[in-house]
């Protein structure tokens, strides 16, 4: 075991010591053990640390037994990797304000970081955005993509659940410690992530609570872990635009999915598109943008569409890529409801449409 680990843990447990401070301390002392036993005078040589901060650290140090801390941590069955370790992901080492330490559950270090895609967007997203996100993710399965997001409501949840439903791996970058999973309603999803070879990841000591300011901080890790970032729905003030900005600063590919002009949550994504973000309307756009290789997918051919009956063609003309309820379909096509139900089922079996809860349908 790395003899430095208990000191990395001790520093990361100190309130007020973020990744930037950890990095500065490590760079200065070249050993976390040497830093832990250093005097206040020695600590004053670390340029980024104020005297008031040093005094506070020294007081808190007295409360930490490093041996007991290590034993307690090892009992939690949580993995840890530091920026001093060779196994630390290269994609994160060179970003601005790189995380100095990462805590994780799942097989994090063996993920293919060349096949990672971040997906972010509004917490209050439309149902069509959720369905489109899941459809895009499903189309990335032949590329063995790993989906990265923040575990929050809305598009984050759609990204993780879309990966799970498609049988793909996903990484959840949390805004708090691994012992304070948030939001509570997503805890069942987090468990499924681990059950399906996914990862829960945090730069915060496991018992750290998910304070509001931590969520924007973790966004640099979401984009940093990924080859590119896809923004689905985001208004002008959305936190997703922070991730988009970080993505560009890190030299990664930024992509956006367009949406309805009347939806305020598309203003941010449309702004990014105007500024040069890549337009994504299908999985292949991401494949091309990131230079990934994938197997041929089965698609609904034009021959299959041409082989539909007149009534089936009429149904297809009514159903759009936005959710359409059965009452509207029946009203527009004038087809008897019993026959309509049969035809809708046949179209769904052919993979041309998809049924959503509440007898709502949309094109695939």
Listed residue (313, 320, 311) closest to 354, CA to CA:
320
Class of domain 113-290: alpha beta
Q: What is the pLDDT of residues 5-26, one digit of tens each?
A: 999 999 888 877 778 888 888 8
**Residue 239 φ/ψ, nearest 5 degrees:** -65, -20
Query: CA-CA distances (angstroms) from residue 313 to 288, 316, 334?
Result: 32, 5, 13
* Higher per-residue pLDDT: 200 or 328: 200
Rounded Cα distance, 8 and 268, in Å: 39
Torsion, Cα 275 174 4 35, to 10 degrees, reads 70
Cβ neighbour number for residue 143 with a 10 Å cutoff: 19
pLDDT at residue number 321: 60
Torsion, Cα 238 241 242 244, to 10 degrees, reads 160
Q: What is the pLDDT of residues 159-171, one digit of tens each?
A: 999 999 999 999 9
DSSP letter at 44 equals T
Q: Kindly indicate the confidence band of residue 128, based on its pLDDT and cuts at 50, 70 and 90.
A: confident
* Higher per-residue pLDDT: 320 or 285: 285
Rounded Cα distance, 347 and 355, in Å: 10
The owner of tokens 């895009």 is 136
* 302-363: CATH number: 1.10.10.10
To the nearest whole percent, how much of the chain has pLDDT over 70?
95
Q: What is the pLDDT of residues 227-278, one digit of tens each?
A: 999 999 988 888 889 999 999 999 999 999 988 888 888 899 999 999 999 9
Q: What is the pLDDT of residues 265-317, one digit of tens each?
A: 889 999 999 999 999 988 989 999 999 976 554 445 555 566 788 888 888 88
To the nearest whole percent, how much of the chain has pLDDT over 90?
51
Q: What is the pLDDT of residues 296-306, one digit of tens each?
A: 544 455 555 66
What is the value of pTM for the model shown?
0.79
Is pLDDT of 41 > 90? no
Is the bond preceding 183 in cis, omega lying within 30 degrees of 0? yes
Is pLDDT of 338 > 60? yes
**CB 221, CB 92: distance < 8 Å:** yes
* Higher per-residue pLDDT: 212 or 159: 159
**Residue 289 φ/ψ, nearest 5 degrees:** -65, -40
Query: CA-CA distances (angstroms) from residue 335 to 197, 317, 319, 350?
Result: 46, 13, 14, 20
Helix 5-13 / helix 66-74 crossing angle, nearest 10 deg: 90
Side-by-side strand order, sheet with 324-325: 324-325, 360-363, 353-356
Is pLDDT of 336 > 80? yes
pLDDT at residue number 348: 84
Is pLDDT of 111 > 50? yes
Q: Mark 76-111 as b/e (b = at least 16 C-beta within 10 Å).
A: eebbbbbbeeeebbebbeebeebbbbbbbbbebeeb
Structure tokens at 20: 């930037």
């Amino acid at each position: 075991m790395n003899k430095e680990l208990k000191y990395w843990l001790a520093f990361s447990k100190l309130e007020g010591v973020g990744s930037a401070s950890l990095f500065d301390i490590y760079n200065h002392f070249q050993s976390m053990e040497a830093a832990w036993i250093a005097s206040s005078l020695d600590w004053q040589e670390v340029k980024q640390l104020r005297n008031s901060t040093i005094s506070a650290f020294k007081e808190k140090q007295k409360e930490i037994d490093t041996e007991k801390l290590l034993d307690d941590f090892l009992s939690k069955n949580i993995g840890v990797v530091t920026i001093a370790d060779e196994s630390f992901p290269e994609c994160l080492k060179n970003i601005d304000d790189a995380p100095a330490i990462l805590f994780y559950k799942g097989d994090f270090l063996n993920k293919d970081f060349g096949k990672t895609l971040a997906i972010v967007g509004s917490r209050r997203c439309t149902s069509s955005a959720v369905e489109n996100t899941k459809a895009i993710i499903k189309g990335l399965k032949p590329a063995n993509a790993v989906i990265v997001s923040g575990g929050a409501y809305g598009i984050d949840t759609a990204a993780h659940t879309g990966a799970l439903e498609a049988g793909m791996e996903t990484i959840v970058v949390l805004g708090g410690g691994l012992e304070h999973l948030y939001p509570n309603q997503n805890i069942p999803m987090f468990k499924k992530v681990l059950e399906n070879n996914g990862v829960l990841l945090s730069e915060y000591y496991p018992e750290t609570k998910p304070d509001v300011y931590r969520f924007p901080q973790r966004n640099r890790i979401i984009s940093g872990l990924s080859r590119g970032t896809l923004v689905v729905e985001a208004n002008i003030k959305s936190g997703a635009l922070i991730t988009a900005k970080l993505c560009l600063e890190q030299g990664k590919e930024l992509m956006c999915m367009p949406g309805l002009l009347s939806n305020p949550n598309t203003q941010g994504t449309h702004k990014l598109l105007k500024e040069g973000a890549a337009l994504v309307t299908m999985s292949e756009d991401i494949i091309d943008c990131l230079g990934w290789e994938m197997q041929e997918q089965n698609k609904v051919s034009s021959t299959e569409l041409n082989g539909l009956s007149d009534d089936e063609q009429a149904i297809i003309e009514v159903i759009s890529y936005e959710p359409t309820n059965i009452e509207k379909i029946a009203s527009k096509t004038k087809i008897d409801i019993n026959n309509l139900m049969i035809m809708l089922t046949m179209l769904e079996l052919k993979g041309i449409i998809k049924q959503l809860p509440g007898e709502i349908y949309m094109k695939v």
